Amino acid sequence: MKFSLAHLTVIGCPPPEMTYLAARAGYDYVSLRLIPMGVAGENLYLPEDKKMISDTRTALAQTGIEVWDIELARILVNKDPRDYLPAMEVAAELGARHVISSAWTNTTGDRDVIVEHFARLCDLAKPLGLTVNLEFPSFSRLTNLQQAADIVAAANRCNSAILLDTLYLHFSGVTPEEITALPHHWFQFIHVCDTSPEIPRDKQEMTRIARDNRLYIGEGCIDFSAIFKSLPADITCSIELPNLQRVKKYGYEEHARRCLASARKHLGAG
């Protein structure tokens, strides 16, 4: 099992620094946020920042770390998917394999728009050798696995996939049987973290937990064994585990180490 360090886990680290940190902590890959969301606490790491990209390329070469994916190509009604092309081109230059997307349209009857935009993202990504992975955050437009699967099936692109996140599997009540029922090749990697049993009923609290208060694997209630039995055996884990209190206590690097240590211990990865 291989592991990537997701940028949200250490969101204050610029990509070059994050790459060196990931190498010291024992990760195989980094997952970079090169398409900002404009949320609180997020720094801007833009693909047009040539020095930052050059420094990242140097860090990758010096450490042997690879880029697994970039995020986040959001599907919005008034957002042209072509606007994400510069970031995807930089991702391809850095050796990335995947792009994360999710839908934030919040408009009644917008399924066809989501399908169209997702398909166009896949078409833009294909010549670059990138797969587009559709995620379903429980506070976004798509809130469960069935909705995400409907979009991927309707888009019918060979470089499309679904990104599972163990937090959202818990929030949405997704069962292992639902995962098993879908094509295995739709699952290229998975975001992992743990969480407490309580499921928030409002989007604001879901968002707070997702961005600020995820738990180390083994500290919460998620049945990782059941989830992983329903997935391809060689699936890559991207550890997306932001926790403001842990970062304040340990610092980014030690937090990243503890994230990986708990994952290796509880996911049977040695």
Q: Where are the domains of the chain?
A: 3-266
Which stretch of 75-79, 164-168, 254-258 has the lowest confidence by average pLDDT?
75-79
Whole-angstrom CA distances from 41 to 12, 15, 202, 212, 254 are: 8, 15, 21, 10, 20
Between 38 and 170, the more confident residue is 170
Q: How far apart are CA 46 and CA 39, in angstroms?
A: 15
The token duo for 200 is 């928030």
Is there a contact between 140 and 171 (Cβ–Cβ < 8 Å)?
Answer: no
Report residue 37's pLDDT band, with 50, 70 and 90 as the boundaries.
confident
Secondary-structure breakdown of the chain: helix, strand, coil percentages, each rounded to the nearest 5 = 45, 20, 35
What pLDDT is attached to residue 107?
73
Report residue 109's pLDDT band, with 50, 70 and 90 as the boundaries.
confident
Share of the chain above pLDDT 90, in %: 93
Report residue 41's pLDDT band, with 50, 70 and 90 as the boundaries.
low
- Picking from 31, 38, 49, the residue whose alpha carbon sits closest to that of residue 76 is 38
Peptide bond into 72 cis (omega under 30): yes
The β-bridge partners of 161 are 133
What pLDDT is attached to residue 269?
61
Looking at residues 40-57, what average pLDDT do you find?
89
What pLDDT is attached to residue 44?
85
Q: Does residue 229 sit in helix, strand or coil? A: helix
What pLDDT is attached to residue 105?
92
Query: Is pLDDT of 96 > 80?
Result: yes
Query: Is pLDDT of 84 > 80?
Result: yes
Mean pLDDT of the chain: 95
Looking at residues 186-195, what average pLDDT do you find?
98
Domain 3-266, CATH among 3.30.428.10, 3.40.50.1860, 3.20.20.150, 3.40.1260.10 = 3.20.20.150
- Picking from 52, 61, 49, 70, the residue whose alpha carbon sits closest to that of residue 23 is 61
Report residue 64's pLDDT band, with 50, 70 and 90 as the boundaries.
very high
Report residue 38's pLDDT band, with 50, 70 and 90 as the boundaries.
confident
Span 125-172, pLDDT tens digits: 999 999 999 999 999 999 999 999 999 999 999 999 999 999 999 999
Looking at residues 179-205, what average pLDDT do you find?
96
Query: Is pLDDT of 251 > 90?
Result: yes
